[in-house]
Chain A
Amino acid sequence: MGGLLFQAFIYLCAAVIAVPIAKRLGLGSVLGYLLAGIFIGPVIGLVGSETQTIQHFAEFGVVMMLFLVGLELQPGMLWEMRNRLIGLGGLQVALTTALITAAALMMGLYWSVALTIGLIFSLSSTAIVLQTLNEKGLSKTEGGRAGFSVLLFQDIAVIPMLALIPLLALPELVGGGGDSLVTAAESHGDAGHHHKMSLVDGLPGWAHALVVLGAIASVLLGGHFLSRPMFRFIAESRLREIFTASALMLVIGIALLMTLVDLSPALGTFLAGVVLANSEFRHELESDIEPFKGLLLGLFFITVGAGIDFNILFNDAFTILSLTVGVIVIKGLVLYGLARAFRLTTTDGWLVTLGLAQAGEFGFVLLSFSLQNQVLPAELASTLSLVVALSMLLTPVLFILYDKLILNRQPESDERQADNIDETGSVIIAGNGRFGQIVNRLLVASGIQTTVLDHQADIINMLSKVGVKSYYGDASRPELLHAAGIESAKAVVIAIDDRSRTLEMVEHIRRHYPEVKILARAFDVNHLYLLNKAGVDIAVRELFDSSLELGKATLKAVGVHPFKVEKMSTAFRKHDESGMNTLYELWDENTEMASNKAYLARARELGETLKEMMETDRMQLHDRSERGWTPPPKHYTKDMGE
């Protein structure tokens, strides 16, 4: 127990110190984790052999990552990207694999080893690149989008690679080795017998195939038909941790099922993710799984860092460095060629080229997986993992090159063009009861993309029946807002039926996303003032407008000219607003409104009693509304020189 706590403490400590520093230096979190690992492993030797075991466990983060990648992949989005995804992404993986395999063959490696190396280095670092693009605000540029398609293709390509690699096992290495959580598809042959649990062991070929197909079908059909009622049932219990538990249960369950039929768990969870991508629970699932994925992947990177063998680097620095540069150059050439072939501008082409030239985290996964499956000799694997790590460490340098050499060289107008962002920006609407619904309908009708969140499963259910895109989740949870895409949203509308939560949300969002516009539903004047104080951009009293409308209707009903009514109500609104603003300056949020002396004094000044207040209304309104179209005085033409 003590040992476990000690280790956990060391890992967490390293991460907590290294990652924020790395981020501040513009290196990104992946590099932070790697550096943390390097520090506690090779540098000060606090952790040792157990990293191997921890790494196997941490690989489950990859399974979760693929689940999340699946969740992001709505069919419509995939279809829009199809050309780049398959063309650009497919060619990138194929050409890079081919070139690197060829290079490895020329160095005299066995073909299966060469091919494995080719596959490993065809991948780039989704984690580093996406994060960097986001941080630099480049993800919506043409180059950023092209990069995303390539990365997405690579992430999907990992799945067949995981299936392929065991088939490349070197006969002389087969025999020992452990199993991995990432995949249970084992090397065929004698190695299979050490598996404890399997549904397909000893089955004839046709039965094996049937069971496998059955398992996939149950993931697809179950995901499509069973998951919604199940999540709805759980959601109605309003117990957040149970929802989290069920999300974890789903992912682990599918991973387990896949393991039992000798398939890749990553494949299974990816499919489940795609099936759930259109579900109203998508954002809630994302926000539940995300932290686990983040921590596990972080742990994974730390173990990779800790496992780096610096002796190899120091013994053979020249080879390692030239291999790294070689990999970056080959990948860069392929990327640049393809970017030009796919008609990207020079700037965008360079972004893709320099951004994606590194090897990626999946490279580590494939490396440790190849090692377990006796595809690569151990010594070669540790050399290669050094190359992967170094190429990733160089990524920030390449991005700096991009910033300094490419962007600076481009004339202003060209850069504008590269930044051509075709969306007006989306809006998140929290709360979709009677209030939020109207806001949403107006926005959708105006062609604005909205993401609707509500914590009542039945409302979401009803909305999805009438075709409104909405998601289940407690909108006051920061993670859910994150999953709903608040980073890229233009505005957040808070229309929930809860005073204090509204206030908390405004405070939270203002603190973490200073850019986004916040619009909120206020319950009354006091609430409105609190919201203003919390930094809301616009708050609207929920009953003010409807009361005013009813007042207008009443005036018309008793025979006041409709245009006069229009003028009166406009004047009333202005008068009320300016009164509110003067009072706001005096108002002090810590004091209950009624006991606030300054406020009361001012209110008294405006009118001792409600009656006087109304008298003021009457007079001021008269002045305001009478001003327009006042005819000139009777004899005004006298002094006009007629």
Chain B
Amino acid sequence: MSDPEKDEKRSMTQKAVKRILILLAHPSLERSEVNRPLAEAAAAIEGITLIDLYAEYPDFQIDIDREQQRLLEHDVIIFQHPLYWYSTPAILKEWQDLVLEHDFAYGSKGTALHGKLFLNALSAGGAEAAYRAEGYNHFTIRELLQPMEQMASLCGMRYLPPFALFGARTAVDEGRIGHHIDAWIALLEALRDQKLDIETAQKLAGLNSDLNRLIKEA
């Protein structure tokens, strides 16, 4: 793999677009109120590959070669999922266990993912207030997702804080979904066109609140 920094410089000068891979994991999409519209919106954006893991592998027989090839072909990797028991639905765990092989994703020869960006885009039933030390969930979402932050780090990827929708069960009824979808589209386009201030973003607890400030105008 080429040096990520050089890569970045070259693409900056050429204004090259980044290729984005969204791995969607939702085991009952027909009942989804949040993740389905988000996925549909993402799929409509040019330059984005959306993979419905439960559709592709309903029996969990994940094709390792195909998934690794996909990783190689993209620069930004996103896990999109509802928060299930403070983590991802099962198939994303299976995906990690199978696809992130030694000497591919980590280890002395495992440099395939170096320099790529990684983030979680998730919906949580609980309110944002619950996801802090004083709340009943006691931890922030970023803290809860630390295994994935460390996964990214071990694989040499640059980790971005989660893009999350809280109170997801009532988001539609309370009319909060439209704004969230717009933010989601803006985030994806900024990532694609390299307009996101990565350095600043990496220090935040989440991407939602300051999204507008993070996106640089061209």
Contact = CB atoms under 8 A, between A and B. Distances in A.
Interface stretch (B55-63, B67-75, B151-159): B55-63
Nearest to A552: B58
Nearest to A560: B30
B179 to A, nearest CB: 19
Given A631-B125, A641-B136, A642-B136, A565 B169 contact: no
Contacts of B59: 566
A628 B127 contact: no
A642 B126 contact: yes
Q: Would you call the interface of chain A mostly helix, strand, loop, or mixed?
A: loop
A436 B55 CA distance: 32
Given A563-B27, A564-B28, A635-B169, A642 B125 contact: no
B31 A631 contact: yes
Given A562-B55, A563-B54, A629-B27, A634 B130 contact: no
Contact of A633 (B55, B58, B136, B169): B169
A524 to B, nearest CB: 27
Interface residues of A, number: 19
Interface in B52-100: 54-56, 58-59, 82, 84, 89
A561 interface: yes
Contact of A634 (B30, B135, B136, B169): B169
Contacts of B169: 631-637
Interface residues of B, number: 24
A566 B126 contact: no
A2 to B, nearest CB: 75
Given A628-B27, A636-B125, A561 B130 contact: no
A561 B55 contact: yes
A552 to B, nearest CB: 9
A84 B170 CA distance: 78
A632, A634, A641 — most chain B CB neighbours (10 Å):
A634
Contacts of B130: 637, 640, 642
A637 B166 CA distance: 11
A633 B168 CA distance: 11
A565 B58 contact: yes
Contact of B56 (A562, A628, A641): A562
A631 B170 CA distance: 12
Interface in A608-642: 628-637, 640-642
A562 to B, nearest CB: 4
A642 B137 CA distance: 9
B45 interface: no
Contacts of A637: 125-127, 130, 167, 169
B177 to A, nearest CB: 14
A425 B161 CA distance: 54
B125 A563 contact: no
Interface in B1-52: 27-31
Please give me the 9 A-B residue pairs with the lowest Cβ-Cβ distance, nearest first. Answer: A566-B58, A563-B54, A562-B58, A563-B58, A629-B28, A562-B55, A629-B27, A634-B169, A642-B130
